[in-house]
Amino acid sequence: KTMKISRPLLITLASLLTRHHASAFMLTSRSSTTVSNLSANGIVSPRLLGGCVTSRHIVSQSHGLSALPTADDVSTDDFMKQLGHASQIIPLLHPQDGDKLLTDDESTSLLELLSRQFGHSDGIRGFFAVYLTSPESLIDEDVPSVLAEAVKSADTKVMVPLACMNVIMPTAMSSIHEDAELKECASKTASSGKKILRLLKGNDDVVRNCEAISRVCQGTEA
């Protein structure tokens, strides 16, 4: 079912989600000064500035898997480091004209890496904070098969709440923003989030989370 939410309720929901750090999208809503400082220190990818960016590859795809973080890195590093890991992984998921396509063995290795990253909240939040605002996800209609498989095989108790919030939060922000560019960026991020959430369509946890969000919007649940 389509859930229609009024603007006042969206504002209230956005406030609730922000206080509880519910969404990976939160990072893209921070001030450009804060994110620029993090970027200057090599902590946050430039693609996060303003929520929408136009630059493409951050890590040259020619480096292949040798430039990627290790399985231990994506399994144990905190949220901020996961942002950098995502910036290294994403170009391999969306090869551009002239890029070498991954072999079957390389695709398998990339799937294993993503599966390890999606094994915990910081990994999921860090990856999608970058991915959902990346040119690759905004332009390409289909979710890469390797990424889709990693999302579907992740623990739904961890993946589903974050996937839901990565749609709800930018949707709320697109209603709140007065600036046309910020509104458009939030709307595009929500569209990218929907592509990921559709991969989990029919899962009982998706239904439960959406019902819980609906109850919050209706004021029937704190």
pLDDT value of residue 178: 87
Residue 110's nearest CA partner among 55, 138, 147, 158 is 147
pLDDT tens-digit map of 14-71: 555 544 444 555 454 443 333 443 443 333 333 333 356 544 444 444 456 777 999 9
pLDDT value of residue 62: 47
Question: CB neighbours (10 Å) of residue 102?
Answer: 19
pLDDT tens-digit map of 126-155: 999 999 999 888 888 899 999 999 999 999
Share of the chain above pLDDT 90, in %: 44
Determine the 3-state secondary structure of 80 from DSSP: helix
Query: Against a cut of 0.95, is the pTM above it?
Result: no
Band of residue 210 on the pLDDT scale cut at 50, 70, 90: confident
207 close to 164: Cβ distance less than 8 angstroms: no
Determine the 3-state secondary structure of 54 from DSSP: coil
At 88, give phi and psi (nearest 5°).
-80, -30
CA angle at residue 118 from 113 to 123, to 5 degrees?
95
Measured distance CA(218)–CA(8) in Å, rounded: 11
